[in-house]
Amino acid sequence: MALLVLTACVPTKIIEKVAIINSYGIDAAEEGQIEKTIIAFRFDDEAQNIATTLSGTANTVRGAEEDAANKTSFTLKPGQIRLVVYGKEIAENGISPYINVLVRDARVSSMMYTAISTGTAKEVLTAGQENTPANIGQYLQDLIEKEIKQNTIPDVSFFHFTHALEDTGQDPILPLLGIRDNKAALIGMAVMDNGKYAGEISLKDAFLVNLFQKNIRDKPLEVSISKEPFSDYIEGQLQTDDEQLHISTLITDGRTRTKMTDVGGLEFQTEVNLKVNLYETSEPMRIRDEKAARLLEKEMEKKITKQYEQLLASLKETGSDPFGLGNIYRIKKESGKLTEQEWDEKFPEVTVDFKVNVQLVNYGSVR
pLDDT digits (tens, 9 = 90+) for 101-133: 888 877 777 788 999 999 999 999 988 666 665
d(CA 133, CA 184): 12
User: Mapping DSSP to helix (H, G, I), strand (E, B) and coil, where does residue 288 land?
Assistant: coil
Name the phi and psi angles at 11, rounded to 5: -65, 140
Q: Which of 346, 329, 23, 323 is nearest to 173 (CA)?
A: 323
Q: Which residue has the higher pLDDT, 207 or 6?
A: 207
Task: Give yes or no for a contact between 276 and 359, defined as CB atoms under 8 angstroms apart.
Answer: yes
Q: For residue 199, what pLDDT is reported?
A: 96
Q: Which amino acid is at 203?
A: L
Rg of the chain taking only CA atoms, in angstroms: 25
Bridging pattern class, strands 51-58 and 183-193: unpaired
Q: Are 57 and 67 in contact (CB under 8 A)?
A: yes
CB 169 within 8 A of CB 326: yes
For 215, other C-beta atoms within 10 Å of its C-beta total 11
Phi, psi of 235 (to 5 degrees): -95, 140
Which of the four pLDDT bands, split at 50, 70 and 90, describes residue 181? confident
Closest CA to 192 of 93, 311, 310: 93
CA distance 234 to 263: 47
Instruction: Write down all domains in the chain, each with its CATH number in brackets.
Output: 13-201 (no CATH), 213-366 (3.30.300.210)
Question: Which residues is 365 bridged to in the sheet?
Answer: none
Q: What is the pTM of this model?
A: 0.88
Mean pLDDT of 282-306: 87
Confidence of residue 281 (pLDDT cuts 50, 70, 90): confident
Task: For residue 136, give the 3-state DSSP assignment.
Answer: helix
Indicate if the pLDDT at residue 366 is higher than 50. Answer: no
- Edge-to-edge strand ranges of the sheet holding 267-281: 219-226, 244-262, 267-281, 351-362
The residues pairing with 213 across neighbouring beta strands, listed in sequence order, are none
Tell me the three-class secondary structure of 173-241, residue by residue.
EEEEEEEECCEEEEEEEEEEECCEEEEEECHHHHHHHHHHHCCECCEEEEEEEECHHHCCCECCCCCCC
- Please write the tens of the pLDDT for every residue from 203-229: 999 999 999 999 999 999 999 999 888
338, pLDDT greater than 50: yes
- pLDDT at residue number 48: 55
Cα 331 versus chain centre, distance: 26
pLDDT at 12 exceeding the cut of 90: no
CB 361 within 8 A of CB 287: no
What is the distance between the alpha carbons of residues 246 and 204, in angstroms, rounded to a whole number?
15
- Return the bridge partners of 101, or none: none
